[in-house]
Amino acid sequence: MASKKAHKDRNMRDLRIGSNIAIMRKVLLDPILFGTILLVLAIVTMFIVFPIANILKESFIYKGAISLHHYTEIFRLSYNKEIILNTFKLGITVSILSTIIGFGFAYASAYVKVKYKKLMNAIAILPIISPPFVISLSAILLFGRVGLISKGLFGIQNANIYGFRGLVLVQVLTFFPVAFLVMVGLLQQIDPSVEEAARDLGASRWKVFTTITVPLMAPGIANAGLLVFIQSVADFGNPMVIGGNFTTMAVQIYMQGIGSLDMSGATALAILLLLVSVSAFIVQKFYLGKKSYITVTGKVSRQRELIEEKNIVQPLSFLILLTSSFVGLMYILIPIGAFVKIWGVNNTFTLDHFKYVISIGIKPIVDTTSLALIATPITGILSMVIAFLLIRRKFIGKAYLDFTTMLSIAIPGTVVGLGYVLTYNKAPLILTGTGTILIIAFVMRSMPVGIRSGMASLQQIDPSIEEAASVLGASSKKVFTSITLPMIKPAFFSGLVYAFSRSMTLVSTIIFLVSAKYSLLTVTTMSQIDQGRIGVASVYSTILIVIVGSIILLMKFALSKMGVSADEIEL
């Protein structure tokens, strides 16, 4: 504690007297550090800031002159207005429903003696290792025209899953785990004695829940809701697959930009979408983040006594089992669908879809996996380096680096995709169609989360440990590789796992960037669904999930051999 304070005091003094000149001198004296900072700033500028700036610029240009034409066009056409309304309607509905279900899961996990905790955690991880449209695909298998439940169970002819209701169903099932994970962490941080105090003062369980637990969680609940909202409005895969006539902004940006080849027309909509998700993110990050009550209650003094009353445990267990099995069913259906001739019409076993996939080539599988494998270590190292710079070093441009990498979490994938196409399809740097731009997209989409988890784990390490190394003669590179990196190993490796899964399952950004030269699994799958080849799409999805799942297991296994326990690697 004392050393931390001393360190802080010294930092303050540095800032006061040294100002920028001192910082610059310090940085210049260390060429490796200086070079790294320049490189990182260049990367962030080129692939986060510049593409967005380009969209912004383009959105104000019409026929070579500065104009508000693209914006007025949005609000002139009732079709566009409807799309914006759709996006909000969907985002708000999904956010509310997901938060309610997520809270139920979180409360059960942290407060109640239910049996299915492992199952709950497994369900929470599924959306991370699967492409974003998988639930849509199985929703079609279940509730589509020839769906297992719609036609099979209820005999409904021509059931229509496409549209708002179907989209709400799949997005809720996809995103409620996000809300669950956010809230379960916060609930576990509430000091049980606060609730015991209320109980002791005469409050019933229900009264404690309504007057203590829920108010304490209010910022956390709002936080979870906003995170789901951001994901919902940015989601491209599900609305694309199952939206039907219900179009959202993320889909429309693609349709207009790539489908109708009207890039500049799409820019205004992209800016609007960006504004929506970034402002939601800023509220979440800067307003709610500061409003947390839970930090006030301090350390958890003792383990919580889990609720054992049957009248609470049993209904809650039942609801959780029901929801979890439903989500589980959604995922199990995919591999089953891969082996069925024509779903709902001719349900005989077949290997035809697999044969078809092999006959048209396993190129998407090879391409996706190899590109993701290249992007993964780059993401991992870059994230940790940036995290290290942000936490441990002072340099000009630090605030800029911090702000852009954080904000890029909230930038919808379609917006990034549009920005890349606008920026890198003309001289001086033509990257569209190359593998390079795909790798860059992979890296830039998974890096922000890696940076944040790296920063979180670095903050827990006393800076004096690193200072001790440099006093003993280690250069800044040596300090990073021999001291810092080993200490943040768990965060580094979970970053790798995350980067790989995210790269494999990415759709929104790369759908703008694919070319004849490289075909990617997610994009191929989507076009198969689009053509009605549900069986083939199921095969591709199955393969994708199997590859991601097995690489994760392989990494965990390799890491346990290297002395990082599987528990330390968080997803």
CB of 326 to other proteins, least distance (A): 32
Q: Which of 152, 163, 215, 315 binds other proteins (CB under 8 A)?
A: 215
CB of 223 to other proteins, least distance (A): 15
Does residue 310 interact with other proteins by CB under 8 A? no
Does residue 210 interact with other proteins by CB under 8 A? no
Question: Which of 195/367 has CB closer to other proteins?
Answer: 195
Number of residues interacting with other proteins: please give it, by CB under 8 A: 26
Tokens of 291: 């409003």
CB of 200 to other proteins, least distance (A): 5
Q: Which of 139, 198, 224, 387 binds other proteins (CB under 8 A)?
A: 198
The total number of residues shown for the chain amounts to 571
Question: Which of 20/211 has CB closer to other proteins?
Answer: 211
Options 193-201, 314-322, 410-418, 512-520: segment touching other proteins (CB under 8 A): 193-201
Does residue 196 interact with other proteins by CB under 8 A? yes
Distance between CA atoms of 196 and 192, rounded to whole angstroms? 6
Distance between CA atoms of 547 and 504, rounded to whole angstroms? 9
Task: Look up tokens 């080539």; give the residue.
Answer: 361
Q: What are residue 349's DSSP bridge partners? A: 340
DSSP character string of 77-90: -HHHHHHHHHHHHH
Which residues does 49 contact at the CB level (< 8 Å), separation at least 6? 404
Task: Look up tokens 């260049």; give the residue.
Answer: 42
Does residue 355 interact with other proteins by CB under 8 A? no
| Contact in structure between 84 and 251 (CB atoms under 8 Å) | no
**Span 162-191, contacts to other proteins by CB under 8 A:** 191
| Contact in structure between 517 and 499 (CB atoms under 8 Å) | no
361 DSSP 8-state letter: -
Q: Which of 3, 67, 160, 211 binds other proteins (CB under 8 A)?
A: 211
Does residue 66 interact with other proteins by CB under 8 A? no
Distance between CA atoms of 457 and 462, rounded to whole angstroms? 11
Does residue 200 interact with other proteins by CB under 8 A? yes
Q: Which of 189, 193, 434, 475 binds other proteins (CB under 8 A)?
A: 193
For residue 559, the Cα-to-chain-centroid distance in whole angstroms is 24
CB of 287 to other proteins, least distance (A): 16
**Span 13-42, contacts to other proteins by CB under 8 A:** none
Distance between CA atoms of 435 and 403, rounded to whole angstroms? 28
Write the CA distances from 166 to 75, 141, 376, 500, integer angstroms.
Answer: 27, 12, 34, 29
Q: Which of 2, 201, 399, 562 binds other proteins (CB under 8 A)?
A: 201
Options 104-112, 153-161, 215-223, 330-338: segment touching other proteins (CB under 8 A): 215-223
Options 140-148, 171-179, 206-214, 367-375: segment touching other proteins (CB under 8 A): 206-214
**Span 268-307, contacts to other proteins by CB under 8 A:** 293-294, 296-299, 301, 305
Does residue 202 interact with other proteins by CB under 8 A? yes
307 DSSP 8-state letter: B
Q: Could you tell me where the beta strands, DSSP code E, fall in 194-301? A: none
Which residues does 229 contact at the CB level (< 8 Å), separation at least 6? 91, 92, 94, 95, 280
> Which residues bind to other proteins, rule: CB under 8 A?
191, 193-194, 196-204, 207, 211-212, 215-216, 218, 293-294, 296-299, 301, 305
